[in-house]
Structure 1
Amino acid sequence: MADGATGAGRRPLTVERAFAGGWTTFAAIMMLIGGILMVLEGIAAIVNNDLVVATRNYTFSWSTTGWGWIHLALGVVLVLAGTALFGGAVWARAVGVVVAGLSMIANFAWLPHYPFWAIVLIVIDAFVIWALCVGPTKQLD
């Protein structure tokens, strides 16, 4: 099979496919980083309500403990999906896009409490969504 042909059931490794694989690995790493940061953020908000600054008259006026549980749950799902993505699980791509989108929304609402941290996580989630949506465009012969 020196001419580039593959065995039955195998797809040829192309430049685009290798590139998409690299972006999938990047997305998995970013999901792990973002998920761990969200877990830490959630634990901090749950354990110590005085640790975070709560502003008055903000549209999303949940308790910091409530926000903590939301961040903790989203972070755990991101870490699990990121780990599964390393194993090549197809479902992890879809879960990653959905959960990263939910994480962006949650961190946007979290802006008054920790602006810098929330912006960093929004950027990480944007990169995760982009990297998971990148795919091979064509196959080389």
Structure 2
Amino acid sequence: MATTQHHTHSKSALTAAGGLIIFASVMLFVSGVLDILRGVMAIAEDDVFVTSPNYVFKFDLTSWGWIHLALGAIAVVVSLGLFSRATWARVVGVGIAALLIIANFLSIPYYPVWSLTLIALYGFVIWALCVSGLDADTE
């Protein structure tokens, strides 16, 4: 005989899961806006960026600007989808946060402290989106 298991979630667990999604939404939105601003600064070739002559992943500063601008804009759009608790936004949110961690890692020599700060923020976004169960918002 096969028995079926019914998953029941306590109200506090569902509230916590919902809170993590809101946390991830806000953090992804803020981090995305910051990456957009960083992209604009790089495209304008602002003097806040450091140049490193011997870096393996050296791109033109303008190229990094467009990369951060595009990925930041996608992050902002995905964060808006997260506010509506769309499942697609959770999946894409993890992916875009991972891509932004890689982009920020590769651009560490240009803006080291800020790159490390954004890596940490995107790490929190991935954690929050993965920790709250996929079925938490269906009950």
TM-score range, shorter chain: 0.7 to 0.9
Identity of aligned residues (%): 44
Q: Distance in 1 between matches of 2:58 and 2:9?
A: 53
TM-score, normalised by the number of residues in structure 1? 0.85
Gaps of 5+ in 2: 1-7
Aligned Cα RMSD in Å? Answer: 2.1
Match of residue 109 from structure 1: 106
Q: How many positions carry a matched residue from both structures? A: 129
Match of residue 4 from structure 1: none
Q: Pick the aligned partner of 2:90 from 90, 93, 106.
A: 93
Q: Distance in 2 between matches of 1:137 and 1:60?
A: 36
Match of residue 43 from structure 1: 40
Match of residue 57 from structure 2: 60
| Residues 100-128 of structure 1, C-alpha deviations (whole Å, 9 max, x = no match) | 00000000011111111001100000000
TM-score, normalised by the number of residues in structure 2? 0.86
Cα deviation for residue 136 of structure 1 reads 3.9
Q: Equivalent residue of 1:111, what SS?
A: coil
Q: How does 1:1-141 map to 2 (within 5 A)?
A: 14-48=11-45, 50-136=47-133
Match of residue 6 from structure 1: none
Moved over 3 A (4+): 136-139
Cα deviation for residue 92 of structure 1 reads 0.6
Cα deviation for residue 43 of structure 1 reads 0.5
Cα deviation for residue 48 of structure 1 reads 2.0
Gaps of 5+ in 1: 1-10
| Residues 9-64 of structure 1, C-alpha deviations (whole Å, 9 max, x = no match) | xx977321211100000000000110001000000001126542220110111100
| Residues 48-99 of structure 1, C-alpha deviations (whole Å, 9 max, x = no match) | 2654222011011110000001000110011000011101111110111000
Mapped contact 1:49–1:65 kept (Cα < 8 A): no
